[in-house]
A and B are shown apart, each in its own frame.
Chain A
Amino acid sequence: MFLNLFQIRFPVMAIASILHRISGVILFFAIPLMLWALQTSLHTASCYYDIKALFVSPWGKLINWFLLSALIYHSVAGIRHLVMDLGYGESIQIGRLTARFVIGLSLILIILLGVQLW
Chain B
Amino acid sequence: MVSIATGFGKSGFQEWLLQRVTAVFMLVYIGGLVWLCLCTKPLDFTAWQAIFAPLWMKIATVLMVASICIHAWIGIWTVTTDYIKPLWLRIPCQCIFNLGLIAYVIWAIDILWGL
Seen from chain A, the residues whose Cβ lies within 8 Å of a Cβ on chain B are 21, 24-25, 27-28, 31-32, 35, 38-39, 41-42, 44-45, 48-49, 75, 78-79, 82, 85
Contact = CB atoms under 8 A, between A and B. Distances in A.
B72 interface: yes
B8 interface: no
A105 B104 CA distance: 31
Contact of B72 (A21, A31, A35, A41): A31
B41 to A, nearest CB: 15
Nearest to B110: A39
A41 B107 CA distance: 15
Contact of A28 (B46, B52, B76, B115): B76
B20 interface: yes
Given A35-B108, A82-B20, A48 B79 contact: no
